[in-house]
Structure formats: structure tokens, C-alpha cells
A = this chain, B = another copy of it.
């Protein structure tokens, strides 16, 4: 079955490492398991070998079967045969406004915290759909505003300062203002998550990447929501293949508080907590930066007598950081309703991590594209589905476990998307947002009145069917940012001084934003 998957991967995708790693995992189920058990973070005693030899073989086989089924569902040729889709939807009518009017949800929002997400998902409540997309667009903006240009001395920073970030990215009317940017160290144990300038000498930072932002709802949005909403949006990685390889499958204790039981993936924790006195932007870790600002904002608005909530969002790696962030916020800030809305996020921690998050009252909604492989990592085989083998595996604190409510959307539900295997396309956040926009329930077809601009899907991939005539990966700068100067030469203009990263952004407490 895996060979089918390999054969249908388009040649232009850098997907060989993934397939290799899957194959490797298949061949090394036992050694992988042993590796995980012998790691220094393990607590449970391994079951006696002679007692479980046959059972272990059975486990290994079952795991393989699981993987088989799993890939059947996503990549076999029958699964990808184009279903008979009712194409009555107008294909991206260019004169349908994309914005739905936003209703007052001040009474509805509490449902999330009183009755959990699950009750709102079948069918998906329209107001919640709009909120999910709103937060997803906060996460998408962390990509759209990021400087990926390795020839730029500002590579790895945000292209715009926080005051005009939303406006520049077409989100000027979203009712939020950014109060702080977040930076994380790029010299961490996930070697390829970062972007780094080739101009080491001149670079704005040798050590850090811009990792997202903290924003607060303005008075209008606050009224609509029934509370002052603090948002943290975490940037992820664009190319999932890169850190598929880099994830170390190493669980380690999240902190000293939990007695070592609560464990999370080493790489994610490292990005979240690393700092160094010798850096400019990471004298404080990402964790410290974000927690300082959230605490400041919570205090400020609570002192004004307002209801305050925290919503943390992120895609891919950003979704993992969102969970770590939520855990820390829940542990340190009392009486703060905390939600996580993540997209295509991998597993982060073990069962104890999940249980503790639930216990702390963090409400998590994980949006997952059924065909996306990233949410299946780490722990492609060593995950919560092993529960049925507990008898032989013993305590499962060494397996990765997903957290919260899952909202599973399916590429095949959309009449606008190609059916071919597309590793990047399945993982792309814009694909996620498109599928959320069309989602009613897992039994329903794509929502007829979905209005979000379909063309956005192809911003950074080629998932849209050709009939739509939207170019692949169209989100690009004119002439890659070069302009012809007065002397007739093509040059990269220096960045507007107001958009040059500055230590002010990170080390000084900002003035409270104008929230009118």
C-alpha cells in the first residue's frame, strides 16, 4: 500500500524523505519502540521480554496494519478517484462578497467553556465557523507577513511593524490590534524550522526568528464577543517535510512542577523555552515574552473590570507552540478562560500532558485535514491508538497523544480541490481554511453558500482544480521585491525604517494600544 503512495507523489515535491522515513519506521517498529523505551525520559518499566515476545510481534504487526489502513484512506488510487461531486456551486463567482456579516456572539461564546467544543461541531455552528476562520487568518498572517528572503538582511523577521501589520495584510478591519511581537531562538534542536539570512554580518539578528504576535480585540469586537479577547498567533513552518525528518521523537518533562510525568516533544519545548543573554531578541525566551505580555494585558483589563479571555492559535509547528503556551498560561494565570484553535498541528505531549490540559480547563479545538500527514506526527505509530494494546505495552506515558476536540475536514468534500496526493497542499493552512468554510458535518457535502475566496487556496500550493484558472502558488512579490531606481538599476529598496525590527519591539513595555 505504501508503494502506491510513493508512486503517486508528484515529482516536484520534496517528499522522498517522508516516504523513506515511513518505510524506515515500518522496518524498525521494534527498534523504534525499544529506542523510545530506553530513552532517558521513561518512567514505566518495560514489560518482561520473554512474557510478551509473541504479543510484541502481534503488536508490531497490528501497527503495520494500522499504518496500512491509514494510508489506504488517504493515498490509494481508489480513494483518490474523483467522487461524483455536485458542482452546482458557482465556481468562485467573482462578484460575491467574501465577508459575511458578523453577528453578536457575546452569549454564545461561553458554550465553548461550559459545554466544550464537541457539542458545537455536529453540525458546525455557523458562528463558530466564522470564529475558527478568524483565528485561522491570524495564523495565516504569520506566514504572509514573514520575510523568507535569504538575501534580505531582515530574513526571519516580520516585514511590517505591528501597528500596520494587519492593514498591510488585508486584515485591517478584523477588530484587533497587535500589542507585541514574539521572537524565538533559531539555534535549536529542530535544525530546519528556521529562516536565516545569508548576510550573517549585516543581519538584523543572527539568533532569532519572528514567531508571531499578541493582539487584543478593540472595543467594537470586544462588545461583539462579550469579552476582551487576547489572541496569541504562532507562526509554523511552511514545508512539513523539513521537520518530519527533524522531529526527534523524544519526550521530555515539560517542567519541574509536574513531577516529571507531563512530557512533551523535546524540539517544540526547545523552541518555546530557549534564550540566551548574548542575543538581541532572545534574552527572554518566547515563553517569557508571551507570558509577560499576556499577564500584563490580563491584569490591565481585569483592573478595568472587564471579562478577559485568551485564544491561542497556530498552524503546524505553530499549533504545537500554541498548546505549550496554553499549558503555561493555564498553570500561571488563574481564572482565565483559555482556548486553543490549532490547524494541522502535530502531537505535542503524552497522555499526562493531555490530561493536565483538560484538568486545567484549556479548551482545545484541533482542525485536521484527513489527508494531512503532519497531525499524525510525531508518533505515527506510537500514539493514543495504542490504548487497546495497553495490556502488553504497559503504561503509555511514552506515546504521543492528541489533545482536545478534533474537527476533521476532508479534501474530498470540496468540489474545488484536486484529488491527487499533494503533501504540501494537504498541509497548507489555506486549504484548511477553505475546508472549514465549506464544512457542516462529516456527513454533509460542501456548504453551498460558502463565501470565502476560493482563490486563496492556491496562494502557496496548487490544490485548486484547473477549471478555476487560478495560478499555482501565486502569492509572490513583484520582481521578488526589486524595483528600478532613479539610475535605471534594479535594486532591493531598503525596508521602511518603521518596519525595521527594533529592540523596542521586544524589550520595552509597549504603551497600551489605542483600542477605539
CB-based contact B470/A97 at 8 Å: no
Chain B: which residue is nearest A490 at the CB level? B455
CB-based contact B149/A488 at 8 Å: no
Nearest CB in chain B: distance from A455 CB, A = 4
CB-based contact B476/A479 at 8 Å: yes
Does A218 reach chain B (CB closer than 8 Å)? no
Query: Which chain B residues border A490 with CB–CB below 8 Å?
Result: 453, 455-456, 470, 474
Which residues of chain A (424-480) have a CB below 8 Å from chain B? Answer: 453, 455-456, 466, 469-471, 474-480
Cα distance A453–B488 in the bound complex, in angstroms:
8
CB-based contact A455/B94 at 8 Å: no
Does A98 reach chain B (CB closer than 8 Å)? yes
Among B94, B478, B487, which residue has its beta carbon within 8 angstroms of that of A97? B487
Cα distance A455–B479 in the bound complex, in angstroms:
11
Main secondary structure of the interface of A (DSSP, over half): loop
CB-based contact B489/A482 at 8 Å: no
Cα distance A477–B98 in the bound complex, in angstroms:
24
Query: Which chain B residues border A305 with CB–CB below 8 Å?
Result: none
CB-based contact B480/A474 at 8 Å: yes
CB-based contact A170/B453 at 8 Å: no
Q: Given contacts A469-B199, A469-B492, is CB(A95)–CB(B487) below 8 Å?
A: yes
Does A99 reach chain B (CB closer than 8 Å)? yes
Does A484 reach chain B (CB closer than 8 Å)? yes
Chain B: which residue is nearest A485 at the CB level? B94
Query: Which chain B residues border A482 with CB–CB below 8 Å?
Result: 455, 470-471, 474
Nearest CB in chain B: distance from A50 CB, A = 49
Cα distance A149–B489 in the bound complex, in angstroms:
27
Cα distance A98–B488 in the bound complex, in angstroms:
6
Does A92 reach chain B (CB closer than 8 Å)? yes
Does A96 reach chain B (CB closer than 8 Å)? yes
Query: Which chain B residues border A487 with CB–CB below 8 Å?
Result: 94-98
Cα distance A198–B472 in the bound complex, in angstroms:
14
Query: Which chain B residues border A479 with CB–CB below 8 Å?
Result: 474-476
Cα distance A170–B479 in the bound complex, in angstroms:
14
A23-66, CB under 8 A of B: which get 1 and which 0?
Answer: 00000000000000000000000000000000000000000000
Q: Given contacts A470-B151, A479-B475, is CB(A94)–CB(B198) below 8 Å?
A: no
Q: Most chain-B Cβ atoms within 10 A of its Cβ — which of A92, A482, A490?
A: A490
Nearest CB in chain B: distance from A309 CB, A = 28
Query: Which chain B residues border A257 with CB–CB below 8 Å?
Result: none
A145-160, CB under 8 A of B: which get 1 and which 0?
Answer: 0000101000000000
Does A220 reach chain B (CB closer than 8 Å)? no
CB-based contact A97/B488 at 8 Å: yes
22 A-B pairs in the complex with CB atoms less than 8 angstroms apart: A94-B485, A94-B487, A94-B489, A96-B489, A97-B487, A97-B488, A98-B487, A98-B489, A198-B466, A199-B469, A453-B490, A455-B489, A455-B490, A456-B490, A470-B490, A471-B482, A474-B480, A474-B482, A476-B476, A476-B477, A476-B479, A477-B478
Q: A interface vs B, CB < 8 Å?
A: 92, 94-99, 149, 151, 170, 198-199, 453, 455-456, 466, 469-471, 474-482, 484-485, 487-492
20 new A-B contacts, CB < 8 A, other than A471-B481, A478-B478, are: A94-B485, A94-B489, A96-B487, A96-B489, A97-B488, A98-B487, A98-B488, A98-B489, A149-B471, A151-B471, A198-B466, A198-B469, A453-B489, A453-B490, A455-B491, A456-B490, A471-B482, A474-B480, A475-B479, A476-B479
5 pairs of A and B residues whose beta carbons are closest in the complex: A478-B478, A98-B488, A455-B490, A474-B480, A471-B480
